[in-house]
Structure 1
Amino acid sequence: MATFQLELVSPEKLLLSRQVEMVVIPAAEGEMGVLPGHAPMIVALRGGVIRVVEGGRDAERLFVAGGFAEVTPDRVTVLADEATPVAELSKAEAERRIAEAEAGYNAATMDTPERRDAAMAKLLAMRAMLASAEAA
């Protein structure tokens, strides 16, 4: 089967760089499957799980808290705000971060719309982290 290069980069390090058959990314508009030859685009990511498909099955699952993905016909580059293998997620840590994000959102109620939106995006990402940790 045809493949393309997938690179996943977080602020700390390059987490993944290899040829894959397909990747499913949590785009802001919804789940987005990418195969070789995909039309070029840049998409915003929401908090969710990136699924790497090899041999017709999920070979790897990584939680991202947001970021961007650049898609070309022969490459996908994900620039994640934060990325963690799903197997390493902690339910307790996710619950702690949800509490922090809720406090941040409540504090932003009288702030600018942009800051409220950013606080809500963080809260939703942390809730997605908890859901991913519970499903793992």
Structure 2
Amino acid sequence: MATFQLELVSPERLLLSRPVDMAVIPAAEGEMGVLPGHSPMIVALRGGVITVTENGQVTDRLFVAGGFAEVTPERCTVLADEATPVAQLSRTEAEQRIKDAEAAYADASSATPEKRDAAMDRLLSARAMLQAAQAA
């Protein structure tokens, strides 16, 4: 089966770099499947889970808090703001992030639209983290 190179980079380290059959990434517009030969594009990511498939089996599930992905026919490079294997997510930490993000969003009610949008993105990412932690 044809493969492409998937690279997942966070500010701390390179988390994954290997040939895979398919990856599903949480693009800002919705879930996006990437296969070998995909059309080139750059997409923004929202908080969610990247699912990696090799030999017809899901081999990795990684939570990303946002970022960007560059897709070419031979490669998908994910530059994540934060990335954690789903198995290592903490429900308690996710719940605390939601509380903090809700407070930040409430504080941003009179701020600029950009600050309100950033606060909402943070809240949605925290909710996605909790959902991923519960599903693990």
TM-score by length of 1: 0.99
Q: In structure 2, what is the equivalent of residue 52 of structure 1?
A: 52
- Counterpart amino acid of residue 125 in structure 2: A
**Which residues of 2 match residues 97-136 of structure 1 at below 5 A?**
97-136=97-136
- Residue segments in structure 1 that go unaligned for 5+ positions in a row: none
2:26 counterpart of 1:26: yes
2:8 counterpart of 1:8: yes
Distance apart, 1:32 and its partner CA: 0.3
Q: In structure 2, what is the equivalent of residue 75 of structure 1?
A: 75
TM-score by length of 2: 0.99
Q: SS state of the match for residue 42, structure 2?
A: strand
Q: SS state of the match for residue 12, structure 2?
A: coil
Identity of aligned residues (%): 75
- Counterpart amino acid of residue 9 in structure 2: V
Q: Return the alpha-carbon distance in structure 2 between the equivalents of residues 56 and 125 of structure 1.
A: 28
